Amino acid sequence: MEQDKIRNVAIIAHVDHGKTTLVDELFKHSGMFRDNEKVTERLMDSGDLERERGITITAKNGSYEYQDYWINIIDTPGHADFGGQVERVLRMADGALLLVDAQEGPMPQTYFVLKKALENHLPVIVVINKIDKPAARCEWVVDQVFDLFVKLNAPDDVLDFPVVYASAKEGYAIKDHTDPVENGGNMDIISQMIVDHTPAPSGSPDAPLQMQVGTIDYSPYLGRLGIGKVVNGTLSINQPVVVARRDGSIKPVRISKIYRFSSDEKISTETATTGEIVAVAGMDDVTVGVTFTDPDDPRPLPLIDIDPPTISMNFIPNDSPFAGKEGKFVTSRHIEERLKRETLADVALQYEALTDAVGFRVSGRGELHLSILIEKMRREDYELQVTRPRVILIEKDGKTLEPYEELTVDVDEQYQGPVIEKLGKLKGQMEEMTTSNGMARLKFKIPTRGLLGYRSQFMTDTKGMGMMSYVFAEYGPWAGDITNRVSGVLVVKEPCTSVAYALFNLQDRGKLFVGAGFPMYQGQIIGEHCRSSDLVVNPAKGKKLTNMRASGSDESVVLTPPVDMTLEDCIAYINDDELVEVTPKSIRLRKKSGVRIKG
């Protein structure tokens, strides 16, 4: 493949601004699929969790042909919790497509991903997406994007960025948002812009081999695959190479298979030359950041710098009375093996053994980052317990510093009062406020601790109509004590099976998390008390029977549907003396063993 005909471009954006949908349309309009071929929606979101949640969790690679050019696409996550993926895959790219919603404009993750692209000195093409929205405001969004470039101290040549307007959902792109959409439209304008404004990959095919692994894939036949861009040299099957590892050591390996990408599929090839993005097999323990290089003249590429984790949780073996009944992998050894395997592919994740108990302290970029890992583990038949998330503090110049987030909130003006009040109690400081068409955009700087568990409260206060997103800002001074939950909980007195009559009588005491007919154990949390104290209850207490019966004396029991708590809700809800028990079939809340209930 000719080097000057290759284009490597990363698609970056805030979460849910349409990256994966845009990639779908670029593939479809390239003619890579037959007219009668059924193409999966959001083709690049291949994981079950990605399809269920509608977000990209891991970076993906794909390619398509435009005229006589080969365009390699890197689809990146938009959520800041998976920012470690963005940082490393941008090393493969020679340019970036920045997608911005035509109504929302730049959001916190837009700032984050653009900052990373500019740090890698990538030329940026701005795509104003979702212009078919009734409330689209394209000119305002372009002005906001320009201000964002200025805020990030972008060089003058980058400030003159090209702009294209698109509706990925409808499958068209136009040069000006006032232009008509002719013949149903297509995506050729974006492809042409990639060719015109993204440089061909640099490097020399005659230089010693250099290829740094940016992401990891897995093949059931070949094991782990390292994906990266050939920066210099040429790679061939059965070619002896050495791998420069993260610890500085050198290991000889032999390349057994090389794959190119065609749409979202891997195509076997004999060789790969400078500028190509390929997947290679041959090293069982390949990790992110290692460099495949020439054995006679090894030249490791600089290691990838990753932003430090801000949140940690303890993963401990399940010791509840129901331990081992639903899961297959239940011991601390099983948990450690799984965590070790995850850190090979996710360099933003760290873990260490606890010194005062059995289990592991797992650190990541945010609640979502860790909850996705827990959800993956339970789907793989793991059984474990996790503690309340805690922020990672640092000491500097004798002062304790904690992480702060830059929070952006979009709400209807009628709900902004409760939001401002609640965020004020959580030590949030409002830095900016704008209103337009009955909507308010509020920007806060708030300790990460204040956001733990706040999302459900936010959705309640805004009647489910608000939007909040945040990105790590900096480490700042300790903000003082923050109370996230003021209510106590309803705790089961003894092992039993819940009955409707007992739950009916407990409804006045608070909100229930479970229904009738569920087995329970002592110390399990089944609801939220309406007061600040905890309450020990008997959810199996039946109606006393007598030999005196009268017509109409037995009333039917009508239960209010229990609160449906997701894994993220449970993790955010618990206090320091409580745990979330996670199994393949159940998610339960419980008090820690030996905790005395405070009534």
Q: pLDDT: is 489 or 48 the higher one?
A: 489
- Rounded to an integer, what distance in angstroms lies between the CA atom of residue 41 and that of residue 58? 17
* Per-residue model confidence as pLDDT tens digits over 18-67: 777 888 888 876 655 444 444 444 444 445 554 455 555 556 688 888 88
Nearest Cα residue to 597 out of 518, 507, 527, 536: 536
Residue 97 burial by CB count (10 A; 0-12/13-18/19+): exposed, middle or buried?
Answer: buried
Q: Tell me if 495 sits within 8 A of 333, measured CB to CB.
A: no
- Topology at the third CATH level for domain 210-293: Elongation Factor Tu (Ef-tu); domain 3 (2.40.30)
Residue 67 CB: number of other CB atoms within 10 A? 11
Mean pLDDT of 11-15: 81
Q: List C-alpha distances in Å: 20 to 41, 75, 194, 411.
A: 9, 7, 17, 26
Count of CA atoms in the C-beta half-sphere (13 A) of 540: 12
Start and end residues for every CATH 2.40.30.10 domain found in the chain: 210-293
Looking at this protein, which amino acid is placed at residue 302? P
The CATH 3.30.70.870 portion of the chain extends over 311-389
The CATH number of 3-197, from 3.40.50.300, 3.90.1150.10, 3.40.1160.10, 2.40.50.140, is 3.40.50.300
CA gap 494, 503 in Å, rounded: 15
Which residues define the annotated binding site for GTP? 16-21, 129-132
Enter the tokens of residue 474.
């900096």
Give CA–CA dist 118/96, Å, rounded: 9
> Which contiguous run of DSSP H or E holds residue 345?
helix 332-345
Which CATH architecture describes the domain 489-544+556-591?
Answer: Beta Barrel (2.40)
CATH code assigned to 394-477: 3.30.70.240
- Which residues are known binding-site members? 16-21, 129-132
CB 486 within 8 Å of CB 527 = no
- Positive or negative, the CA dihedral 39, 43, 47, 53 is negative
Helical H segments across 108-247, by residue range? 108-119, 138-151, 156-159, 188-197
The tens digit of pLDDT for each residue in 294-337 reads 988 888 888 876 667 888 999 999 999 998 898 899 999 999 99
SS3 labels along 259-300: EEEEECEEEEECEECCCCEEEEECCCCCCCCCEEECCCCCCC
- The closest alpha carbon to 12, from 64, 66, 79, belongs to 79
CB 520 within 8 A of CB 498: yes
Taking the alpha carbons of 404, 410, 416, 418 in that order, is the dihedral positive or negative?
Answer: negative
Average predicted confidence (pLDDT) for the chain: 83
State yes or no: pLDDT of 83 exceeds 80: no
Comma-separated ranges of CATH 2.40.50.250 domains in the chain: 489-544+556-591
**How far is the C-alpha of 486 from the C-alpha of 506, rounded, in Å?**
19
Virtual torsion, Cα 322, 326, 332, 338, nearest 10 deg? -150
Which residue is listed with tokens 């990256």? 19
Residues of each domain in the chain carrying CATH 3.30.70.240: 394-477
311-389: which CATH topology? Alpha-Beta Plaits (3.30.70)
Average pLDDT of span 110-126: 87
**pLDDT tens digits for range 495-533:** 999 888 888 888 888 889 998 889 999 999 999 998 888
pLDDT in tens, 356-389: 889 999 998 878 888 889 998 999 999 999 999 9
CB 237 within 8 A of CB 258: yes
